[in-house]
Amino acid sequence: MPALVLLGAQWGDEGKGKATDLLGGSVDYVVRYQGGNNAGHTVVVGDQKYALHLLPSGILSPGCTPVIGNGVVVDPSVLLSELSGLNERGVDTSKLLLSGNAHIITPYNVTVDKVTERFLGKRKIGTTGRGIGPTYADKINRVGIRVQDLYDESILTQKVEAALDVKNQILTKLYNRRAMAVDQAVEELLGYADKLAPYVADTVLVINQALEENKVVLFEGGQGTLLDIDHGTYPFVTSSNPTAGGACTGAGVGPTKISRVIGILKAYTTRVGAGPFPTELFDEDGEALRRIGGERGVTTGRDRRCGWFDAVIARYATRVNGLTDFFLTKLDVLTGWEQIPVCVAYEIDGKRVEELPYSQTDFHHAKPVYEMLPGWSEDISKAKSFADLPKNAQSYVKALEEMSGAPISAIGVGPGRDETIEINSFL
């Protein structure tokens, strides 16, 4: 039962899209299990660059069936435009499967996301403004709209009425905004029904049958471990579970089926939006990481906050996800530094702390304790094996592996599919 989970080990944007695409040619299914179009996964194939937000990165591998699982929140207009954009570029998207149980990001949820952020003022989360949080909130409040509701106008209308009942009170009385009309929302949603119909399926059944037939299934996470609603830096998180357990609930597979959990780990750290980030840099090193690493958001175009590698976070990701492997990305970006600081522990109120504190107050006070590792100046982008790397780059990788608690099985030395050093096979 080769079922693999591939997820972000930090705050997102670790290179999940590239890693998924790399495996896409050898797997039968790639399943997104949580999040929505807050994700931005970049895949570079030859001279072509693709930015995927909602579609699993396996969509670019012709033999692979891409699946949007029940745990994902789907903005139908984004999905349809992403599909037509790929079709225009000659990518066949006809195999896509969309769970009938996935929740829909309605136009009013996008509005609520933006209005809420504005009213939070300086306490805002810095969301992507795509309606993710309000859609998951509706799901938990049991007033959400699911893909299957598009095929029963009467049920859809009742559900939109129920959802807007409370929301319109909040919008008009609390936020001083105009109420949203039920019939307008229903009409817009019904307009997507026929276009989505060819893709809608019982994806839980499909995935489990595939596993019974010994097909290879890869579960592709959005966001990252520290953005997890339960295990991340709450409240500065997204509203779903990117951690490994999320693959089980968000795709409908039992934990006993998962054979491998791969954490995608950047050789330094980035974060978009608000929230604590102990190794964040505000100097020219941070600027250099941003420039060399091209650290600008794929979804919102915001500059990413940049900092040194944080081993405390990597260890935490190993633990909460049960990681079996790491895929270390963007090692090439660190070329040229004489010495590279790596955070090995925190100092909190004068005490050395080796593990991520569960308390938000403590984490806000965490100061990084750095160890200096020697850098390298040679171009590593053509390296094909571990032995091709300069000695100091090898030592950097080995040091990170030792601190992080799981083997580093692949190393990214550039954005392209072939710019990867494979150490242990994932399949």
Would you tell me which residues interact with ligand IMO (CB under 6 A)?
A: 8, 11-13, 38-41, 125-128, 130, 132-133, 222-224, 227, 238-239, 272-273
Pick from 2, 9, 17, 180 the residue near ligand GDP by CB under 6 A: 17
Could you count the other beta carbons within 10 Å of the beta carbon of residue 204? 17
Token pair for 348: 């909190």
The CB-of-110 to ligand IMO minimum distance in angstroms stands at 10
Residue 315's binding partner out of ligand IMO, Mg ion, ligand GDP, none, with CB under 5 to 8 Å set by partner kind: none
- Between CA 24 and CA 55 the distance in angstroms is 13
Stretch that binds ligand GDP, among 6-14, 102-110, 120-128, 355-363 (CB under 6 A): 6-14
Residue of 257, 228, 255, 253 lying closest to 243 (CA atoms): 228
Q: By CB under 6 A, is residue 415 in contact with ligand GDP?
A: yes
- Between CA 109 and CA 350 the distance in angstroms is 44
Residue 76's binding partner out of ligand GDP, Mg ion, ligand IMO, none, with CB under 5 to 8 Å set by partner kind: none
* Phi, psi dihedral angles at 211 (to 5 degrees): -65, -35
Pick from 55, 309, 412, 421 the residue near ligand GDP by CB under 6 A: 412
Residue of 8, 1, 148 lying closest to 70 (CA atoms): 148
CB closer to Mg ion, 51 vs 204: 51
CB closer to ligand IMO, 328 vs 348: 328
The CB-of-404 to ligand GDP minimum distance in angstroms stands at 17
CB closer to ligand IMO, 125 vs 186: 125
Q: Which residue minimizes CB distance to ligand GDP?
A: 412
Residue 333's binding partner out of Mg ion, ligand GDP, ligand IMO, none, with CB under 5 to 8 Å set by partner kind: ligand GDP
Ordered DSSP codes for 189-240: HHHHHHHHGGGEE-HHHHHHHHHHTT--EEEE--S-GGG-TTTSSTTSS-SS
What is the x/- site pattern for ligand GDP, positions 325-344, by CB under 6 A?
----xx-xx-----------
Residue 329's binding partner out of ligand GDP, Mg ion, ligand IMO, none, with CB under 5 to 8 Å set by partner kind: ligand GDP
- Between CA 40 and CA 6 the distance in angstroms is 15
Q: By CB under 6 A, is residue 414 in contact with ligand GDP?
A: yes
Token pair for 402: 């030792």
Strands (E), 95-176: 97-99, 103-104
Number of H helices, E strands in the chain: 12, 20
CB-count exposure of residue 308 (10 Å: 0-12, 13-18, 19+): buried
CB closer to Mg ion, 2 vs 414: 414
Is 228 a catalytic site residue?
Answer: no
CB closer to Mg ion, 91 vs 298: 298
Q: By CB under 6 A, is residue 24 in contact with ligand GDP?
A: no
Residue 238's binding partner out of ligand IMO, ligand GDP, Mg ion, none, with CB under 5 to 8 Å set by partner kind: ligand IMO
Stretch that binds ligand GDP, among 39-47, 98-106, 236-244, 348-356 (CB under 6 A): 39-47
299: left (phi over 0), alpha (psi -120 to 50) or beta: alpha
- Between CA 323 and CA 260 the distance in angstroms is 7
| Catalytic hit among 41, 53, 103, 231 | 41
Contact 70, 99 (CB under 8 A): yes
Q: By CB under 6 A, is residue 243 in contact with ligand GDP?
A: no
Is 202 a catalytic site residue?
Answer: no
CB closer to ligand GDP, 75 vs 419: 419
Contact 399, 326 (CB under 8 A): no
* Phi, psi dihedral angles at 154 (to 5 degrees): -65, -45
Contact 152, 190 (CB under 8 A): no
Pick from 2, 18, 113, 307 the residue near ligand GDP by CB under 6 A: 18
Contact 295, 304 (CB under 8 A): yes
| Catalytic hit among 13, 113, 138, 310 | 13
The CB-of-392 to Mg ion minimum distance in angstroms stands at 29
| Catalytic residue list | 13, 41
Q: Which residues bind ligand GDP (CB under 6 A)?
A: 8, 12-18, 40-42, 44, 294, 298, 329-330, 332-333, 412-415
